[in-house]
Chain A
Amino acid sequence: MVSMLSSLTEWVLGFGGMGSLCLSMKSHAMKSHARQIGNLNYRIWRPGQKWMGWSLLALSIAIVVSARGWGPGLVSFFGMLSAVTLLVIALITYRPRWLVPASLACVAVGPILTGFYVLF
């Protein structure tokens, strides 16, 4: 059986990744009041979020493939991606202010879970 930990890590990284990519876009960032952060230096915020997003997604693929193998791993990754993307869209549409804390929380927790997964 695939451990719960690997699945949890996959989803947290996936949500953090998609959330960051969404927030890397100006219109969405404004909407979610990430502007306060963005105003500090939007030039850093934007590429930062972008890189963060793609890296977390890459890490998520690495985790799921190492846990399940290429075939089931990639299928599972794309399924997860659809689900978390819908969640991000739902948040940015109906609860835009929630997206920043939710996304940042996953960005913070994701790597820690990855550490646990690699260690155990």
Chain B
Amino acid sequence: MTRTSVGKGLGGSPKADGSSKADGSLKADGSPAGGFRQAMSWLHTWVGLTLGWVLFFIFLTGTVGYFDTEIDRWMQPELPQAQTGLNSTDTAQVLLDRLRVEAPGADRWFLTLPAGRHQPYPGIFWQGASTKAGASAASGELQVNGNTGEPFSARDTGGGQLLYQMHWRLHYLSRTQADIIVGFATMFMLVALITGIIIHKKIFRDLFTFRPGKGQRSWLDAHNVLSVVALPFHLMITYSGLIFMGFSYMPLIVAAHYGVDDEARQQFISEVFDPPGLVDSAREPAPLVPLGHLIAAAEDRWGENRVRSIDIRHPGDSNARIIFYENIERRVASGGERLIFDGVSGELLHQVPPATSAAKGARDLFVGLHEGLFAPPVLRWLFFFSGLLGSGMIATGLVLWAVKRRQRMEKKHSLPHLGLRLVEKLNVGTVVGLPIGIAAYFWANRLLPVASVGRADWEVHLMFLAWLMVLIHAACRPNHRAWVEQLAIAGLAFGLLPLLNLLTTDRGLWHSLVANDWVFVGFDLTVLIVGLMLGWTAWRVWQKRSLIDTGEISIKQGRSAQELPGGQS
């Protein structure tokens, strides 16, 4: 099997070509063998291709999202290092004082304590405040310096949160449109995974097999390796992605029990997710109980500095309720325990376990696995790498589709049809174009004037504009040229980010190293390594091309122009 040349493998019987995955649509030999597998292979090919580029976008932005908080912090270099480890009682008092100034008469005060990676700074959030009583806005959100009690001021940015949100909100689309597109894409992904497992005959035997420099065979090997090596992750992330929006995709189950209108739906959501025992405001003023005792009680139960946030409903009302949220780093399933206190007497009313039913427990487990919020640093990196493997799986699948057809076409000496050309252009413009867009987002963050109006919006606009330009570039240039040039641009765009950071802030790499600022060190080194790898790939692709130009490798050896980008993906 290893000896089968690529040309033979294409036209030969499926038995000779042991791992002829996704070969179904090409059946040239008319072999009747493997009818079911043929059908699955066809399905795998087309389901994978149709929404492949959307899936690549979802996978890559979602992968970057595993470092959302770290990116947030890099994108707001004005903020100091994390303030975790402050005394909870003092911090809560500082935040409460700030809320009394910013949001008098509010329906809801929400205090975020700096409990760890996800919440590096204390913060407040409020709803329904009275501007007549002096509130700065009816609702708002602020990050507060836990030492001074003053709000932080930092540049306006979407940060890592926006980059992460993009992977299911698709940014420019409405929630409904995005839900439908992401839903179909996720379903397609699940089908592609399952059909992929069915048609891949020797999952374990081929697991360690990668044969570089063999054209189409190498792409197939790479696609198989990237898929199988992180298969548990791919299945988990895809299935849990569907679970996330189960209520949107299967609304009838809820509708059957609650009704179809928005109010009924809201009732269901609040029954499942809201803490129990919440009441409406009594409209009778009553002083809010001091938080000190409550925090002590919660920390007795959960451990020091393990209160994640404090949610005060109807502060200053006789029906006030205070909800304490436990930090989430100890279990895989999303969410922690909640404690609900009376906001006037301070009496503990309810103690709500993380999952209130088995069904919700299962949902929380999948959601928790998907988000990976519990993951400590090493595991977080593994989540990130698994996501990259998934993105690579999609990219190699897309390239494989084009390589196959390009090769068949060259054998017949026919011209590439429109579909093939379109796929080739979209491949380079997305697989390399999206990373360039992401780099542009970071460049925009540093280069747009700090005080300019709407700068956060423009950061994202520039990301998508950059991507658009790359797609146009891909359309205008010959394919191999497009790969080399774009890989080089991407390499520079990422590799020079640490330099840009050094020139535009006072938190360059050396400074961060000396200051033990691992978030900045990590970001700078990561983009530097990504840049070097992209640059190295560009060089390799360019080198192979020049070999072909000088005739050292002939096209007949099975190395067509399109398959050049890599051989080693």
Contacts and interface: CB of A to CB of B under 8 A. Distances in A.
A and B are partners in one complex rather than unrelated chains: yes
Interface of A: 2, 7, 22, 25, 27-28, 71-72, 75-76, 78-80, 82-83, 85-86, 88-89, 92-93
Nearest to B208: A22
A89 B2 contact: no
Given A75-B332, A92-B208, 18 more contacts: A22-B207, A72-B331, A72-B375, A76-B382, A78-B232, A79-B383, A79-B386, A82-B229, A82-B230, A82-B382, A83-B382, A85-B207, A85-B208, A85-B229, A89-B225, A93-B210, A93-B211, A93-B212
Contacts of B382: 76, 79-80, 82-83
B379 interface: yes
Nearest to A76: B379
Nearest to A27: B2
B379 A75 contact: yes
B389 interface: yes
Given A80-B382, A82-B385, A82-B386, A71 B333 contact: yes
B233 A78 contact: yes
Nearest to B234: A82
Contact of B379 (A28, A79, A86): A79
Nearest to B378: A7
Contacts of B207: 22, 85, 89
Contact of A25 (B205, B212, B365, B383): B205
A86 B376 CA distance: 22
Given A71-B332, A75-B332, A89 B229 contact: yes
A76 B333 CA distance: 14
A75 B382 CA distance: 10
A98 B74 CA distance: 39
A28 B331 contact: no
Given A75-B379, A78-B232, A89 B208 contact: yes
A85 B382 CA distance: 13
A71 B212 CA distance: 37
Interface residues of B, number: 27
Nearest to B226: A86
Q: What are the nearest 8 A-B pairs in CB distance?
A: A79-B382, A71-B332, A82-B230, A22-B208, A78-B232, A93-B210, A85-B229, A82-B229
Nearest to B382: A79
B57 interface: no
Nearest to B210: A93
Given A7-B378, A76-B382, A86 B332 contact: no
A22 B333 CA distance: 34
Nearest to B379: A76
Contacts of A88: 208
Contacts of B205: 25
B369 interface: yes
Contacts of A83: 382, 385
Nearest to A92: B208
Interface string B328-340: 0001110000000
A71 B332 CA distance: 6
B374 interface: yes
A27 B206 CA distance: 11
B383 A72 contact: no
A41 B188 CA distance: 48
A62 to B, nearest CB: 18
A37 B385 CA distance: 35
A28 B209 CA distance: 8
15 contacts: A2-B376, A28-B208, A71-B333, A72-B379, A76-B382, A78-B232, A78-B233, A79-B379, A79-B383, A82-B229, A82-B386, A85-B207, A85-B208, A89-B210, A93-B211
A66 to B, nearest CB: 16
Interface string B533-559: 000000000000000000000000000
Contacts of A76: 378-379, 382
A92 B389 CA distance: 19
Interface string B196-220: 0000000001011011100000000
A82 B389 contact: yes
Nearest to A22: B208
Contacts of B379: 72, 75-76, 79
Nearest to B383: A79
Contacts of B211: 93
Contacts of A82: 229-230, 233, 382, 385-386, 389
Contacts of B225: 86, 89
Interface string B364-389: 01000100001110110011011001
A25 B207 CA distance: 11
Nearest to B384: A79
